[in-house]
Amino acid sequence: MEVIVLGLNHKTAPIEIREKLSFSKSQISYAHKELTRDETIQEVMLLSTCNRVELFTVVTSVEKGVRALKEFLARFHHISLEILDNVSYCYTQKDAVRHLFRVACSLDSMVVGEPQILGQLKEAYNQALEDQSVGSWLVDLVEKSFHVAKKIRTETGICKNAVSISFAAVELAKKIFDKIEGKSVLLVGAGEMSELAARHLLSNGVKDIYVANRTHSRAEELALQFNGQVIPFASLKENLELMDIIITSTSAPHFVFHKEEIQKTLHRRKNRPLFFIDIAVPRNVDPSVSKCADVYVYDIDDLQMVVNSNLLERQKEAKYAEAIVERSVERFWDKMSSENVVPTIVELTQKVEAIRQQELKKAFSKLPNLSDADREVINCLALAITKKVLHDPICMLRKKSSSSNTSHYIQTAKELFNLDGFKRS
């Protein structure tokens, strides 16, 4: 058996090609069914996300398998083989195992450490199980990839630092307030990033969301999404003392919040901390506001610096993750390769033992007067000879079990010793 991954991703194909080659859930089931009809393809699992389309397969021949997979993709999506050749990659054997482990751990993702890919991989696996398109080889391989991903998330810091502006804002809020459960958030303006930040804050336990926007209908629409309340833009500053976190993203060409009014607000808040996340450009918060005690102001550049710093931290952690992947690949490949040659070794041993027994029976029938002691000597002699004959081919099979062409050695052994003929006889 040979393992192949054929696919394309955000590194090899532009979005125009990726969206053309993507599969819906019902199309994935169809693909599983069609591909397993090909006698070369023994097992298949299709993973289709916005950033990658990949076919994980077990085949009887790499050359025939790759051709069958490419022809299917070209035919199904009405795309030329030439275009497919230009944007796709193919990994075989140990490289294919390594690729799957790296995908599961998000080392191959656009943002290293993002958690979504593992969930998408689990969905693809469950679909393949439901479609009965995977067998023992892919089941072992995919489940091992889940274990490797869990180990990396547990033993490295690859997922610990926020790498988006909105997540970075949430992480900062947690540091400022220790706990953000029960805090109140005010959205000033209705930008997409502030909406994302509010969504993350809400999922982390903030108590209330308030929305103030110059266009009242837009404020109502946003408040409805968060089950929040609308504050009239004109009375925005009178309500500041109720807020803990303020996310601003208005298109105002001037500052909306100034130092003097914030100082008055702090007095009414009895100096409880106030956190401004100023995503607007031009900025909505006068930089001098950050000089007020217990006030924290982060603009878009500050947040981007936090993100860049976190990305560097993730890259450092990725080196540890790569080492874990490499060790896991070696252990998995050795185990599966060893299991690959075991049936052939068993067949070979059984055939030689059957021959030994047959020849002993013939010999003993021609020597009826042998004593038990003589029989035992002859029996031991025959056994020693068969063991010595089997020693070299069995050692060679075990030695080659982790090579890239194990199947070649297995097939050669079968042909040399006529093992298929022995099984049929």
The residues assigned a catalytic role are 50
- Please state, in angstroms and rounded to a whole number, the distance separating the CA atoms of residues 243 and 264: 14
In which element (H, E) is residue 36 found? none
Cα Rg of the chain (Å, integer): 33
Strands in 274-278's sheet, in edge-to-edge order, are 229-230, 208-212, 184-188, 245-248, 274-278, 295-299
Chain length of the chain:
425
In one-letter notation, the amino acid at residue 141 is L
Beta strand spans in 34-153 (E):
41-48, 52-59, 89-92
- Please state, in angstroms and rounded to a whole number, the distance separating the CA atoms of residues 320 and 311: 15
Buried b (16+ CB within 10 A) or exposed e, 146-155: eebbebbbee
Closest CA to 247 of 275, 222, 215: 275
Q: State both tokens at 236.
A: 């925005």
SS3 label, residue 152: helix
Q: State both tokens at 232.
A: 């009239």
- DSSP, residue by residue, 201-245: HHHTT--EEEEE-SSHHHHHHHHHHTT-EE--GGGTGGGGGG-SE
SS3 label, residue 7: strand
SS3 label, residue 295: strand
In terms of Cβ atoms closer than 10 Å to its own Cβ (0-12, 13-18, 19+), residue 258 is middle
- Please state, in angstroms and rounded to a whole number, the distance separating the CA atoms of residues 338 and 340: 5
Closest CA to 108 of 253, 364, 320, 322: 322
